[in-house]
Amino acid sequence: MAEVLVLAELNPADGGPRKSTLEALTAARVLGEPAAVVIGAPGTAAGIKDVLAEYGAAKIYVAESDDVDAYLVAPKAEVLAQLVAEKAPAAVVIPSSPEGKEIAGRLAIKTGSGFLTDVTEIAADGTATQVAFAGATIVHSQVTVGTPIYTLRGNSVTPEPAPAAGTEETVQVAVSEAAKRTRVLDRVVEQKSNRPELTEAAIVVSGGRGVASAENFSVIEGLADSLGGAVGASRAAVDSGFYPHSFQVGQTGKTVSPQLYIAVGISGAIQHRAGMQTSKTIVAVNKDPEAPIFELADFGVVGDLFTVVPAATEQISARK
């Protein structure tokens, strides 16, 4: 059975594999035997090999070097290109983060291949599903040249264990001078919170213009915390200074696809819908019965968010 290279994306906080990595290992199985690729500073792979094997990695290629950590994107693409040349895999699957997409693009040029970004599903014949135009159009695409490269959108696939051997193989890393141009000087974490990552969360509660102030966002945070969810914000709320830009959900922000999305005080402009339309269940709270968000909602409450949301938060907390 042909190999499928799966690039492991790691959580900078604890060094463990992100959920997106387990999703990619799961999605890759239909194309062949997953082989995880771990690229990072020395010592990166030691703690995560068991998890990668548990989720189907028959092989684990370990490419550890300080150089791959010190420079942006290009060294990782070089390592993958080297593996594609040596192993002739059936495909390459990469989690669809900004870095993952950039690695995919560089890899495509290096290997003379095509690539597809933000795919939500991969079929056995290599056909991928993508959503276009703010989620309004479902597209099926194929790579027609070279080794197909896919980046998998987060939360599109449910990770399923499939224990495999996880045989380790060390990859010699020789980063070229050309790939050492863009140096990473510092990695700064600005928001430390105990909430799940917005793009990985199973539940997202977002606030919009209707929240009316930065202070009032505590109402949104309260509901999110009662559900163990992440907090998001519409562009209107971010532009008004209610919440930081890194939490913006929409066309010019994050795309999320959680099990449950609760839109509070959000009218549902196309800008916002683009970032949340593919959520499994959508709940809306808005005082305007004509708000377009209700067209998307599985369940909508027409009412004042400042009475409905705190009361709901209290009830949910009481159920625990």
Q: Does 1 bind other proteins (CB under 8 A)?
A: no
- Residue 303 structure tokens: 């009412």
Task: Confirm if 277 and 297 have CB atoms less than 8 A apart.
Answer: no
Least separation in angstroms between residue 206's CB and other proteins is 15
Choose one: 20-28, 34-42, 195-203, 207-215; the region binding other proteins (CB under 8 A): 195-203
Q: Does 9 bind other proteins (CB under 8 A)?
A: no
Select 1 or 185, whichever has its Cβ closest to other proteins.
185
Strand, coil or helix: 226: helix
Choose one: 27-35, 44-52, 160-168, 311-319; the region binding other proteins (CB under 8 A): 311-319
Report the site for other proteins in 121-150 (rule: CB under 8 A): 127, 131-146
Choosing from 89, 102, 225, 261, the residue that interacts with other proteins (CB under 8 A) is 102
Select 169 or 239, whichever has its Cβ closest to other proteins.
239
Report the site for other proteins in 258-277 (rule: CB under 8 A): 259-260, 269-271, 274, 277
Q: C-alpha distances in angstroms, 191 versus 20, 38, 197, 245?
A: 21, 27, 11, 11
Task: Confirm if 7 and 94 have CB atoms less than 8 A apart.
Answer: yes
Select 49 or 147, whichever has its Cβ closest to other proteins.
147
CA distance 151 to 276: 19
Closest alpha carbon to 80 in 152, 157, 175:
175
CA distance 162 to 86: 26
Phi, psi of 124 (to 5 degrees): -60, -30
Choosing from 1, 14, 43, 186, the residue that interacts with other proteins (CB under 8 A) is 186
End-to-end CA distance of the chain: 47
* Tally of CA atoms within 13 A in the half-sphere of 184 that contains its CB: 15
Least separation in angstroms between residue 217's CB and other proteins is 16
Least separation in angstroms between residue 188's CB and other proteins is 5
CA distance 199 to 33: 27
Choosing from 98, 124, 172, 194, the residue that interacts with other proteins (CB under 8 A) is 98
- Residue 62 structure tokens: 């370990």
Strand, coil or helix: 59: strand
Report how many residues bind other proteins under the rule CB under 8 A: 92
CA distance 138 to 45: 37
Least separation in angstroms between residue 138's CB and other proteins is 5
Q: Does 184 bind other proteins (CB under 8 A)?
A: yes
Closest alpha carbon to 57 in 93, 108, 109, 103:
93
CA distance 230 to 217: 13
Choosing from 54, 67, 69, 101, the residue that interacts with other proteins (CB under 8 A) is 101
Report the site for other proteins in 29-88 (rule: CB under 8 A): 72-74, 77
Choose one: 34-42, 157-165, 209-217, 300-308; the region binding other proteins (CB under 8 A): 300-308
Choosing from 120, 199, 234, 257, the residue that interacts with other proteins (CB under 8 A) is 199
Report the site for other proteins in 147-166 (rule: CB under 8 A): none
Q: Does 105 bind other proteins (CB under 8 A)?
A: yes
Report the site for other proteins in 277-296 (rule: CB under 8 A): 277, 281-283, 285, 289, 294-296
Select 157 or 205, whichever has its Cβ closest to other proteins.
205
User: Exposed, middle or buried: residue 178 (CB in 10 Å: 0-12, 13-18, 19+)?
Assistant: exposed
